Structure 1
């Protein structure tokens, strides 16, 4: 990241931009930094100023306590101010929930696209989210960062064998280093249910995307987001999973943000 801006509470935010044109800020999800969405930024850079940033508590950005979701909305306000005073937003997974919150808060957001925000629309989803929150909070309070990462990976549906393999991999120390930010994504997701009143207040166009190879409940959640937002559109990207390929996603976002 080669640029810095300061959020309302004094937190330093690291960001980078690629290309020229109307600004689009890319909001990463849990266990991710701005580098995670950098390939998508490169794919958008021929039409837009694509902005990636490290959310607070990860990468090169600071972290001022106590945390509140409102501080992350203020972070996006600072970034929007730094790139010209208005921007489109793209958020993936829980980053999509943050982008929707920012739009509903009244920030100058021109358009919003989100990919597979994991709202718990499946049976027992609310209970599962509540149990995850309780266990995650306990693990982080005891500084059991590895256990916190395991909890998150199980929530995503990763099998036990793959989780134990991840623990032995070179990437594990990096995952543990940003484990405290899992509490931030958990807070952004709220109770895990679709925030219908918040979505109904968004006046800008919303594009809600899902992958054709993802679980059916993720597509259902994406559809409900689009149906609830007054100017929402739902679209499925065939043969894509939660790890959507930038070369497939970029043309869809280019069309939407270019309108």
Structure 2
């Protein structure tokens, strides 16, 4: 990240900008920095000015306490202002939930695209999320970053053997460094239920995407988003999972964002 801007509360935000044309800000999900969505920048930069940034509490960006979801919306406002005063947004997973919140807030957003926002569609899923959020808060309050990472990995369906293997990996220290930001994503998702009132207030076109190889509930959640926003469209990327391939996603995003 070679550039920096300041959010309203003074938090420094590290970002990169590539390409020329209408601005598009890419928003990463949980346990990730801007580097996770950076591979998408190159194919989009042929038609857009693509902004990749580290969300607060990650990478080279700062993290001013106390955290509030509104501060992350203000972060997007600062980035949009830094690149010309108007932009489209793309967010993956919980980053998509942040994008939808920003679009509903009245920021100068042209269009918004989201991929597999993990909304809970039934009470069982909502209870599982509530239990995760409670245990996550306890682990982070006790300084147990490793336990927080384990909780998240279990939530994503990773098996115990793979989790323990990850603990022994050289990458584990980096995961623990990101652990406090899991609380940010939990706050962005709230109770994880579909925020129908918020989505109904979005006044820009929204493309809600899901992968054909992902669990079915991801597609149903994406379809629900598209049905709830006033100007929603839904599309499935065949053969794709939650870790969508940039080469498959980029042409679909470009078509929508150029609209």
Report the TM-score, using the length of structure 1 for normalisation.
0.99
Structure 1 partner of 2:90: 90
CA positional deviation for 1:178: 1.1
Structure 1 partner of 2:62: 62
Check if 1:2 corresponds to 2:2: yes
Report the TM-score, using the length of structure 2 for normalisation.
0.99
- State whether residues 122 and 217 of structure 1, in contact with CA within 8 Å, keep that contact through their aligned partners in structure 2: no
Cα distance between partner residues in 1 of 2:143 and 2:123: 31
SS of match in other structure, 1:17: strand
Structure 2 partner of 1:19: 19
Check if 1:31 corresponds to 2:7: no
CA positional deviation for 1:112: 0.2
Runs of 4+ that moved beyond 3 A:
none
CA positional deviation for 1:17: 0.8
Structure 1 partner of 2:149: 149
Cα distance between partner residues in 1 of 2:217 and 2:123: 10
Matches within 5 A, 1:36-51: 36-51=36-51
CA positional deviation for 1:165: 1.1
SS of match in other structure, 1:117: coil
SS of match in other structure, 2:162: helix
CA positional deviation for 1:30: 0.4
RMSD over equivalenced CA pairs, Å: 0.6
Structure 1 partner of 2:241: 241
SS of match in other structure, 1:209: strand
Structure 2 partner of 1:198: 198
Paired residues, number: 259
Which blocks of at least 5 consecutive residues in structure 1 are unaligned?
A: none
SS of match in other structure, 2:199: helix
SS of match in other structure, 1:124: helix
CA positional deviation for 1:25: 0.1
Cα distance between partner residues in 2 of 1:43 and 1:171: 28
